[in-house]
Structure 1
Amino acid sequence: MTQQQDSGRLAWADMCRLIAMYGVLVIHISAPIFYDYRNIDLSSFLVANALDSIARVSVPLFAMLSGALLLGRNMSKGMGGVVSRILKVAIPLLFWSVLHVFWLNYGTGKLLDIPSALSQALQGPVMYHLWFVYMTIGVYILLPVLQPISVALLSSKRLVAYFFGLWFLVNSVTIYFPTDIINHLTLTSFLKWPGYFLLGFYLSRSEVFGKVSIWCSAAVFIFASVTTFLVSWRLNSMSPVPVEKAFEYFSPNVLIASCAAFHMIRQIRLSAILVRPVAFLSSIVFPVYFMHLLVIDLIKAGLFGFTLNLASMSTFTAIISLSLCTFAICLLLAAMTRVVPYTSKLIG
């Protein structure tokens, strides 16, 4: 277990946040190729499918990391700053929602209507990647309920087996073997993403998993990711439309890969010279998440003063080049916002 710290920060947590963010970029850049699989050559589809399969753990990693850092606290002296946590996420969500609405309307010549944009944001995500932020707010609302559950999990192996066994059956097994009665029992909503938060907490505190070697976790991650790749290839080869079933974040293959990746990242040990830079980059991941789709569009449009000739590149090179370029620009822009005091409250 890595205990490197810089001003109270865990080095492995900072690395986990950066790795997860880059993985999200790979997913979103690979997706258009994956969805266009009937109009492209097989090799391009397989490359996009492979990279997406490896990166699928990214979103669960974000959820598991939040659970590892937030859960396990005593709630007897208050509600744990629930309102402040919600506002810390909700205010940037509204800001970026307005910005995204402006960008979506820019090409049509429509004027920015801020009240209308805020109204859209209050109804739901104005851009598809923002669903995760809404989900995070929902889990924050549940934190006072999840805290005692997290503490109870450490004190009862039977509860661990029951809770995570039920969570796996309800959310993972049913992806490949749908069961109508599960929906009628209305178990899925509460047991969905909060389960990943609790799983991250338990994996970070359990002595049992602390004994698992990084090589064992690496082998499990590779096996589960290859399974995702093969199942996705098989399902799509038999379907006239794209099938994302193997990519779903609660599929058994992605869930197992996510647990293995989380355990591997927890073993990361940074050299002392890297701890502070990584901590700073980790601290600006939130605005990077908000802006990355916008930056991808701006890069493709050549609005940063350069162009990437993606059409002349191989599929692998194009995805990696665009994702690295996007990541670098997003980090730079997010870092620049930190020059102005208190911008983090608005931008994230």
Structure 2
Amino acid sequence: MSVSESIISGEGKIRKDANVVWADNLRALATVSVILLHVGAGILSKYGQVPGMIWITGNFYDSLVRACVPIFVMLSGAFLLTRDIPSIQAFVHKRLTRILIPFLLWSFLYIFLYNELSEINLRLIAKNLWQGSSFHFWYVYMLIGLYFFIPIILKWVRHSMQNEILYFLFIWLVALLFVPLVDTKFKMPLDLTYFSGFLGYLILGYYLSTFKLKGSPLVLATGLFVTGFLLTFLGTHYLTRWMGYFTGHLYDYLTVNVALMAAGIFIFYRNFPFSSTSLFSKTGGFLAKYSYGIYLVHILVLDKILQPFNINYMFVHPVIGIPVTALACTVISALLIYLLTKLPFIGRYVN
């Protein structure tokens, strides 16, 4: 579904946009990024087993696109937290229907394609639906949890002053710094878990799409992204060398470095003067419209369509193999979802 909608207006806030091309382009970027992330991820666990430059290439690409999932959540915050909700029941029903029906359809397809028919039974189906029939479906479960909370948080956000939202975001960033330490020998006496989680990205997306930023947004965006990327890329490199095995703590979406990257990319796209008639924006609009279906199907395309032809990150050097495989997967996934949506009866439920 395209997100060409209006942003809330008001004193101290960004005026309404007739056509938010930036959001479609940003959703398209996040869609391609998550595919690229999954294409290159296989290299990372092979630290010490593959040549150093190949592993560094995988780390570079993976670090570069780590903000993909936070961007999806931020876009949800930018649009869902700016709308009036007629009733909690109507909101939950509409959102869950929109997300659950395609999710269940693809979940059953993954179950039947990744298991022997003789092994499929009600217990296996229930287990797969409970845990996710594919590893990347965790995002859907997380998103459903956020949807349940949106009717509650929306009233606070919409009636809060800018400084009040900044107060929350500041403590959220502090929580991102320290909450991971609760699983280590260092125990924090201060409980900040109330401010942690993907809820922060939801509110960050609302804030950055609603309130004007001082200074040059594009300069700020570049600084945030470069800082976050270098912390992720170099930090993961040196942590892994120090530990002697792949150490992906800085890859976690709920880290300050990834939050900086996500904020930088969001600010850049929000303030860049995209042309709605350009090929870039038209392509972005197409990918944004089918982004949910592309997300659901892309692992299937990687495993069942490209892999049998040995098209993966290693079919040539990963510097080329990773982006080419990701591009091929994106094109095939987008065309597949587009064609499936044209089918009678079932077409409306695949995306």
Q: TM-score range by the shorter chain?
A: 0.7 to 0.9
TM-score normalised by structure 1 residue count: 0.87
Does residue 168 of the first structure (1) align with residue 173 of the second (2)?
yes
Query: Residues 112-191 of structure 1: matches in 2 within 5 Å?
Result: 112-113=120-121, 115-116=122-123, 118-153=125-160, 155-157=161-163, 159-175=164-180, 180-181=187-188, 185=191, 187-188=192-193, 191=196
8 Å CA contact 1:34, 1:49 repeated in 2: yes
Q: Deviations over 1:115-170 (max 9, x none)?
A: 445412442222111001111111011111120122134x241x223211221122
Unpaired runs of 5+ residues, structure 1, are none
8 Å CA contact 1:91, 1:345 repeated in 2: no
Shift of residue 195, structure 1, vs aligned partner: 1.2
2:298 maps to amino acid: H
Distance change in 2, residues 1:341/1:149 (3 Å): farther
Shift of residue 15, structure 1, vs aligned partner: 0.7
8 Å CA contact 1:171, 1:250 repeated in 2: yes
Distance change in 2, residues 1:273/1:5 (3 Å): farther
Does residue 84 of the first structure (1) align with residue 94 of the second (2)?
yes
Show the counterpart of 1:316: 319
1:37 maps to amino acid: Y
* 311-320 or 338-347, which deviates more: 338-347
- C-alpha distance in 2, partners of 1:312/1:133? 31
Distance change in 2, residues 1:264/1:102 (3 Å): same
- C-alpha distance in 1, partners of 2:91/2:341? 24
- C-alpha distance in 1, partners of 2:58/2:107? 29
Show the counterpart of 2:242: 238
- C-alpha distance in 1, partners of 2:244/2:22? 42
- C-alpha distance in 2, partners of 1:117/1:71? 37
Show the counterpart of 2:13: none
* 82-91 or 193-202, which deviates more: 82-91
Q: Indicate which of 110, 114, 117 corresponds to 1:104.
A: 114
Q: Deviations over 1:176-200 (max 9, x none)?
A: 7865347x94x53663111111110
Does residue 295 of the first structure (1) align with residue 298 of the second (2)?
no
2:118 maps to amino acid: K
Query: Residues 1-348 of structure 1: matches in 2 within 5 Å?
Result: 10-75=20-85, 77-79=86-88, 81-106=91-116, 110=118, 112-113=120-121, 115-116=122-123, 118-153=125-160, 155-157=161-163, 159-175=164-180, 180-181=187-188, 185=191, 187-188=192-193, 191-208=196-213, 211-268=215-272, 269-274=274-279, 275-302=281-308, 308=311, 311=314, 313-341=316-344, 343=346, 345-348=348-351
- C-alpha distance in 2, partners of 1:122/1:189? 28
Instruction: Count residues with an aligned counterpart.
Output: 334
TM-score normalised by structure 2 residue count: 0.86
Unpaired runs of 5+ residues, structure 2, are 7-16
Name the % identity. Answer: 26
- C-alpha distance in 2, partners of 1:74/1:309? 45
Q: Deviations over 1:79-114 (max 9, x none)?
A: 2622210121112221111111112214xx53544x
